[in-house]
Amino acid sequence: MVSMTVNGASHAVDVEEGMPLLWVLRDVLNLTGTKYGCGVAACGACTVLVDGVATRSCVFPAASAAGKTITTIEGLKTGGTLHRVQQAWVDAQAPQCGYCQSGQIMAAVALLTEKPKPTDAEIDAAMTNICRCGSYAQIRTAIHAAAKA
Amino acid sequence: MVSRRFFIFSGIAAAGGLAIGYALMPLTTLGRARKIAGKDGATMVTAWVRIGTDNSVTVIVPHSEMGQGVHTSLPMMLAEELDADWSLVRMEQAPADKAFANAALAQGFLRGDKTIPSVLAGTADFSFRKIAEVINLQVTGGSTSVRFTGVEGMRRTGAAARAMLIKAAATSWGVPEAEVIAKQSKLSHASGKTATYGEMAAIAASFDAPADVPLKAKKDYTIVGKPIARFDIPPKVDGTAVYGLDLRLPNLSFAVVAASPVFGGTLKSVDAAPAKAMRGVKQVVKLADAVAVVADNTWRAKEALLALKPVWDDGPNATISSQSIFAAMDAALDAGKFKTDHSTGDADAVLKGAKKIIEATYCVPYLAHATMETVNCTAHFENDKLTVWGGFQDGLGARAAAAKFAGISIDDVSLHHTAMGGGFGRRGSTLNYLKHAIGVARQVQGPVQVVFTREEDMTQDNYRHASVSRMKAALDEKGKVTAWLHQFTEKFDPPEATMVNYDFANQASRYVKGLNPIPWGPWRSVDHTQMGFFIETFVDELAYAAGQDPFAFRRAHLGGAPRHKAVLELAAAMAGWETKPAQGRARGIAIRDAFGTIVAQVAEVSLNADGRVRVHQVWSAVDPGEVINPATFVAQIQGGAIYGLTAALYGEITIDKGRVVQRNFPDYEMVRMADAPQHEVRFIESGARTGGAGEPGTAPIAAAVGNALFALTGKRIRELPFKNFDLNTGNRRS
Ligand code: FES
Ligand code: FES
């Protein structure tokens, strides 16, 4: 049994210690907003916040999540209202296929927590997630807009 | 046979209100579709709208959203002609609506000479082909209900519905139709009478749809041409969009599959015991060319699959490599048994007598699609009926293929669309994941989600083909091209991708085909990807050989192509072509006409000490005829350029011992945020037939960047990707 708090709710899950957090979220807790893209920490699609830190959950073992507070894309809204980063994403019409965007948004939330007014260079350095559709310009716009919101 | 005019069908919607469909036929512009459609004389194309008694307008779109915005752009066209209040417009993807699948509704139509619905260009070429197959299937099945949509279809449907609503109001109010005003989903008359569309829908449904209806003039548009927010975006920012991999059903199993790593190989045997001993594993499924582990979650299936040691019969392809493939291409080009692609004048004769001849050989490697969501499909057999769920670029084609794979009637297959994590051609006509899913589901109780890992996705793709191109041209003393000879390997779609829009006298284009067994698939912009690089790099070489500026040289050869010339001039103006770039930077230019949209791009680059390129800025001038949704269109041009830039800088799939070498993103790198150039896009709306959005931006970028590199270093790189070269010296990295 591994106990963790996900989006404010406590869960005890009976999984192998080595099962990556990604699959605990997706296949055990049915929180499918967090995506599988590569499984080797190379794309960022699986990014969640672990105690507030952007983490690639596909290589983060369940055992390491014990006692931690996890936030996924499903946990960003408060009372049905979009998080300002999500709202900025809508305003910038950032998603294309949308598949990478949960991870992009979570990475952006972490970036803005650390650097409330990131420069373009700081965005380049922090936002290393792949968007195969090539929505980088809209993502950059959205981050700058969220920083002002 | 039905006459060559069109019909619009109307009827009562299931929930009351008005339902209208519109059908088009035949397809006369696509050679392949024409051929197949010719068998039964007809291809039907329909689009539908439903007006509810609650005044809602539901547009039914039989096409898949991949992020290109088609689920919004098509309804925009219909709503424009309907004069609907956009806030009341909804989108529904067929075939969720039963009325839509009702064969009895689809009986007439016919309007000749239509081209591919522009917003769909890109998926359209293979969609059409597949639809043509479905027609055949349905004809044998006695059904004629085949659905597709078109710009004209959407528009005419909207206009027809508007005319019927006006007639309903006129009849009810006892006033002439000409005095009824339809606007913002409301009908009104000078006498003060008003009604919503919804209130008149039931009466409107009692009329026959008009045989012909006028369409709006562009100047009267209130929806088309505006940056309208896409319907599909809200669920993509809060994690609620359900992609294929996100589907969760009662009693769902998860299967991870591994096919023969050598193309064409088969499964000899596999000892299932190591997997079966692992937690959560339900079964090991053997297929002719693959093995799958079925478990209670994806990760357990994936881990258990790694524990298996399948024995493969590699078949005849185990010795091929990229090296042997390229050697075979060279040999075939040397042997010279060409098929003619196109030819005007006598290029060979002119080249024989020419004083100044320029020659160059180019090549590009295989490319994988690497859609962000790996391919997958959920399937369930129950009482000999098959249900499949997944992301498909062409639902009808996938349904027909599913029936074929399963060996059952198409009527026994239902298909449900999920959101799609990228298409780019991968989720069109190449359906190995569907085939595997059906094979696995046959042997499993209950629904099963068949998942390709990233490694499987990358090594079992249908690839953009590797190819070699030999170019030869003659220049006269004024720097005019007097002969153009292009000899290359492999040709797929679209046929015109090898054409040049320059007024070169004496052109010949020929190719050799079918040289290797690597599975091919359409890849964003299809043959334009490599042809853009080959042709526009060689044209650049000709400009330098003629001692001319690359922009001026191109413009001088676009005398017969005013739209292209205007686009080229706009791109140059946007980039400030005449001004010198900053120290250490240089610019390159290229132009392509792909899927009916002309794009000229200027790229500005610099090099780092390590000989790697940085693309700082791209300027794109684009003439798509008409822009439906500018926000979406800009994003598509930018995204298309990123896709092409990834190919130019990094993209390379190599083959060794019949297998794909690259397995995941660490060895198949992508352009990321830090690599992504600033990219300004501007449109020329020439009013020509509407062109595509998703693919044209991909076609010119590799040449634009390569041409900029040459301007910077004087070294011409004739082979992609650029990462394989130290660009300072032009030498291949070891
Ligand atoms: S899935 Fe975790 S980084 Fe790609
Ligand atoms: S929106 Fe498709 S991968 Fe980013």
pLDDT in tens, B53-90: 888 888 877 677 888 788 898 899 889 999 999 999 99
Domains annotated on chain A, with CATH: 2-74 (3.10.20.30), 84-148 (1.10.150.120)
* Same fold yes or no, B244-314+375-451 and B323-366+463-732: yes
Mean pLDDT calculated for residue range B16-37 = 39
User: Which CATH code for domain B323-366+463-732?
Assistant: 3.30.365.10
Q: Answer whether B211 touches A (CB < 8 Å).
A: no
CATH fold label, B7-231 = Aldehyde Oxidoreductase; domain 4 (3.30.365)
Give contacts of B 287-306 with A, CB under 8 A: 297-300, 302
- CB–CB contact B67 A98 (8 Å): yes
Its pTM stands at 0.90
Q: In the prediction, which pLDDT does A135 show?
A: 98
**Cα(B82)–Cα(B647) distance, integer angstroms:** 42
What integer pLDDT is reported at residue B589 of this predicted model?
98
Q: What is the pLDDT of residues B278-334, one digit of tens each?
A: 999 999 999 999 999 999 999 999 999 999 999 999 999 999 999 999 999 999 999
**Contact assessment for residue B663 and residue B608, using Cβ atoms and an 8 Å cutoff:** no
* Ligand 1 atom closest to A59 (CA): 2
Per CB-CB distance under 8 Å, the chain B contacts of A133 are 67, 372, 422, 639, 642-643
> A56 CA to middle of ligand 1, Å?
6
Ranking B30-34, B143-147, B156-160, B690-694 by mean pLDDT, the lowest is B143-147
| Mutation target vs B (from A24, A97, A135; most B CBs, 10 A cutoff) | A97
- Taking CA atoms, A138 is separated from A73, A142, B289, in Å, by 19, 6, 42
pLDDT tens digits along B142-158:
111 112 344 556 777 78
Cβ of A100 below 6 Å from ligand 2: yes
CATH code for residues B244-314+375-451: 3.30.365.10
Q: Is the Cβ pair A132, B372 closer than 8 Å?
A: yes
**Token pair for residue B8?**
């619009």
* CB spacing of B238 vs A73 below 8 angstroms: yes
Does B672 contact chain A (CB < 8 Å)?
A: yes
Residues forming beta bridges with residue B254, ordered by sequence position: B295, B449
Q: Going by C-beta distance under 8 Å and a sequence separation of 6 or more, which residues neighbour residue B379?
A: B386, B387, B388, B389, B434, B437, B438, B440, B441, B447, B448, B450
Which residue among A72, A90, A131 sits closest to B239, beta carbon to beta carbon? Answer: A72
Say if CB B568 and CB B589 are below 8 A apart. yes
Q: Which of B156, B149, B11, B12 is nearest to B82 (CA)?
A: B156
The mean pLDDT value of chain A amounts to: 97
- Whether residue B67 and residue A97 make contact (CB cut-off 8 A), yes or no, is yes
Share of chain A above pLDDT 70, in %: 100
Q: What is the pLDDT of residues A24-43, one digit of tens each?
A: 999 999 999 999 999 999 99
Backbone angles phi, psi at A68, to 5 degrees: -95, 160
- pLDDT tens-digit series, residues B423-465: 998 998 899 999 999 999 999 999 999 999 999 999 999 999 9
Q: Assess whether pLDDT exceeds 70 at residue B5.
A: no
Q: Contact B665/A73, CB-based, under 8 Å?
A: no
Q: Return the domain boundaries, chain B.
A: 7-231, 244-314+375-451, 323-366+463-732
Ligand 2 close to Cβ of residue B422 (< 6 A): yes
Residue B582 has pLDDT above 80, yes or no: yes
**Ligand 1 pocket, residues with Cβ under 6 angstroms:** A 36-39, 41-46, 56, 58
Q: pLDDT per residue over B548-567, tens digit each?
A: 999 999 999 999 999 999 99
H-type alpha helices, B307-376: 322-335, 347-353
Between the CA of B372 and the centroid of ligand 1 the distance, in Å, is: 10
